[in-house]
Amino acid sequence: MRKIDIACIIDDDPIFVFGVKKIMELIGFCESVMVFRNGNEALNNLKAIISAHEKLPDVILLDLNMPILDGWQFLDEFIKIPCKKKIMIYIVSSSVDPEDTLKAKSYERVSDYIVKPVTVQKLKDILSDIQEVS
């Protein structure tokens, strides 16, 4: 399986981010990782990348519960931005609330809802999904 170019993690938990990055390294998930601590930081940076016609991530791992701009608010704003590239968005949350799962399915741009912790197998599944789409 070939690795993706850029993965993006939007999560305010440094331990989760550290763990996922380690798993990504272990399985050769991607060439590089961009990390944002909240939805607002991610939105501003991704808008700038789109405006500058720079390379966007292939996949976004998005937490729901964050300060400043949570995952839902990020999604609501991000889907308004015109973008030619199809970015696979995976919600990664500790929430097992069925309402969150249903809400995630209502977003066309959300590929899947993953309950933390993220496993090696789940990241391999994401890689497989991306290979099928491209």
**Residues of the domain holding 58:** 4-133
The number of distinct structural domains making up the chain is 1
For residue 14, count CB atoms less than 10 angstroms from its CB and return exposed for 0-12, middle for 13-18, buried for 19 or more: exposed
SS3 content of the chain, % helix, strand, coil (to 5): 45, 20, 35
Beta carbons of 26 and 120 less than 8 angstroms apart: yes
The pTM of the full predicted model, rounded to 2 decimals, is: 0.95
Provide the pLDDT confidence category of residue 83 given band limits of 50, 70 and 90: confident
pLDDT digits (tens, 9 = 90+) for 55-65: 999 999 999 99
Is residue 67 predicted with pLDDT exceeding 80? yes
Q: Which pLDDT score, from 0 to 100, does residue 1 have?
A: 64
The CATH number given to whatever domain includes residue 30 is: 3.40.50.2300
User: How far apart are the C-alpha atoms of 33 and 3, rounded to whole Å?
Assistant: 12
Is residue 16 predicted with pLDDT exceeding 90? yes
User: How far apart are the C-alpha atoms of 39 and 32, rounded to whole Å?
Assistant: 20
